[in-house]
Amino acid sequence: MKLVLFDSRDRFSGLETELRAFPGVALARARDPAALAAVLPQAEVLITTNRLYTPEHAVVIRAHGQDLHWIQFSTSGIDKAVASGLPSGVTITNAAGLRAFAVAEHAIALMLGLVRHVGATESARREEVWSRDAITPSMDNLSGKHLVLVGLGAIGQEIARKAKAFDMRVTGISRATGPIANIDRIHPRSGLQAAAAEADILLLSVSHDETTDKILSRSVIQAMKPAAYVVNIARGQLVDEPALIEVLQAGKIAGAGLDVTVTEPLPPGHPFWAMPNVLLTPHVGGAGSTDDGAAFLKIFLENLRRWRRQEPLKNVVIERTP
């Protein structure tokens, strides 16, 4: 059984050692398209990442991965891979929840940065202005705030757990119907606009697909209170971006904390760059010093055991059809 790891950063150095427990499994590594094309023939399994699954690489995978039956992503998201073109008839699994703790921390950082006006204090610092008297009246706290959380997967649930430590009230927007820890109440997606009207912070942590495209629509944004904030740590395509820009420029909501945008990298001259009521980070929510190599290998190796035993895999996103 041939296994290919396509990764440009030489991660998962312990994989070769771990594979000794799987007799008959041969590993080949590839860092670039040429190497990938050379090692893919006769490979049954491919490990890769959403970040690397560009249209160029998708062509190589479809052309040379004729024997692939399973692709394991080391990321939770696979939206770039889907858009670039996955091979047909292949089971797709992801690493859902792997960096949920990190993304949740980043969400809290953005929320704190907004209510504590970190952007304004940083701007004053660059001007060497001690802005205590000017900024103090507008500062606020997370305690007691109503967080409307769109998406209650692993990341959403971890955000809710952390939000409760700040004494926030949490409403979830989800297709889930049963009770979930740290969520005070759950509404269906059809109730988003009504919930947005009550939100102090509306936070997007839902996956992007055709059902969630622009889920933060113009009507939802316009329903929000003037003192409310939008935070997005999921995907830029969840937002009607022109509508968000309009309300931010007009001061009809208080601000936004964005780790993602519709176009990435954000192009020069985009309005978000210059908006004082926007905190902007460059899609780094899952970053951090905690090594996720061992954690990912644990996910993959469990799936590899299941694959060899012909048992159902975990974290299946797309099921292979004969």
User: Looking at 264, 302, 311, 319, which residue is catalytic?
Assistant: 264
Degrees (nearest 5) of the Cα angle 231, 175, 112?
Answer: 20
Q: Residue 278, SS3?
A: strand
Catalytic, 270? Answer no
Measured between alpha carbons, how far apart are the two ends of the chain, in Å? Answer: 19
Could you please report the per-residue DSSP string of 159-177?
A: HHHHHHHTT-EEEEESS--
Catalytic, 235? Answer yes
Cβ of 176: how many Cβ atoms within 10 Å?
16
Distances (CA, A) of 52 to 27, 84, 286, 311: 19, 10, 16, 28
Catalytic, 264? Answer yes
User: Looking at 31, 189, 283, 320, which residue is catalytic?
Assistant: 283
User: Looking at 57, 208, 235, 241, which residue is catalytic?
Assistant: 235
Whether the Cβ atoms of residue 199 and residue 224 lie closer than 8 Å to each other = yes
Q: What backbone torsions phi and psi does residue 48 show, to the nearest 5 degrees? A: -155, -170
The DSSP 8-state label assigned to residue 6 in this structure reads: E
Amino acid, res. 321: T
Active-site annotation, residues:
235, 264, 283
